[in-house]
Amino acid sequence: MAASAHATGANPASSMNQARAVGGSWSRIRRWPLVPIIVLGTLVFCALFADLIAPHTYREQDLALRNAPPAWMEGGTSERILGADIVGRDLLSRLIYGARISLMVAGVSLASGAVIGVSLGVIAGYYGGLIDEILMRVVDTWFAIPFILLALVIVIAFEPSLMIVLILLAMLAWSGFVRNVRAETLVLKTSDYVSASRIAGASKIRIIIKHILPGVTNTVVVIATLRVGQLILAEASLSFLGAGIPQPTPAWGLMVSDGRNYLDTAWWVATFPGMAILMTVMALNFLGDWLRDRLDPRLRQI
């Protein structure tokens, strides 16, 4: 029997160790957002070192390689690994440079929108009364305005430019912070340590800076993480409609727009930037959900 077991290679201890290792790896994957971190880390790396890692500049054209397929397809070439667009520009290089544009646009607009939204939310929640009523009605009115229609009107009035896109996305970003920050402020201002500071003679500005703002930081971080993906998607939508970043800037939405008329003959022109948008937005959404679960003590206990 022993010889038979040895012959078949059965080793219960080894099997248990392997199962334990697999279970531990799966537990780590579930506990930490490894895939979103890898995707976002790659995005940040490409944005920071685009000049070094891109095989070509995003402006370099070669009409002889117009709509060239990816290198692994028939007719492809190693000079255009992911293929070329309608004027022979390298898609891989434009995707790498487009990561820089997406992060810059989303980061600047999110930072400016967060400052405005958090400030208004704290003011509305802490002061209450007529100030709260006016600010909340302004937010309700803003939510009722169709953003795409407003963006198109502004672009018609002004020429499309990077600055116009930043302003539009900042206008989109601020409203997402106000309600949540206001709700957190309403809870925090009735807490014991805030009441003790008020009794001790602390000014309203000091209470807001020292006690209210640190208390809403977790909420702001989660909202910001989720809003980044929405802003990248909004920028892509504006560029796709011709109301965003103008040519020849390698914005992902603009690249999708360039390839929409060639889906039957050169599908890669629109598909690869579309996949970049999809992966980035999904990674940011998953990271935002993970941060919400980690930073909310009620969800950590579930």
Cα torsion 112, 118, 119, 125 to 10°: value is: 160
Tell me the per-residue pLDDT of 241-279, one tens digit each, with 9 for 90 and over. 877 788 788 888 888 888 888 888 888 888 998 898 888
Single out the residue of 210, 213, 229, 215 nearest to residue 117, CA to CA. 213
Q: What is the pLDDT of residues 22-68, one digit of tens each?
A: 555 556 666 777 888 898 899 889 888 988 898 888 888 888 888 88
Task: Name the CA dihedral angle for 143, 101, 277, 60, rounded to a multiple of 10 degrees.
Answer: 140
Non-local CB neighbours of 158 within 8 Å, separated by 6+ positions: 164
Return the CATH fold of 105-250+281-300.
MetI-like fold (1.10.3720)
Selection from 221, 254, 275 nearest residue 105 by Cα? 254
Domain ranges of the chain: 45-88, 105-250+281-300
Rounded to whole angstroms, the Cα distance separating 189 from 65 reads 64
Flag whether the pTM goes above 0.85: no
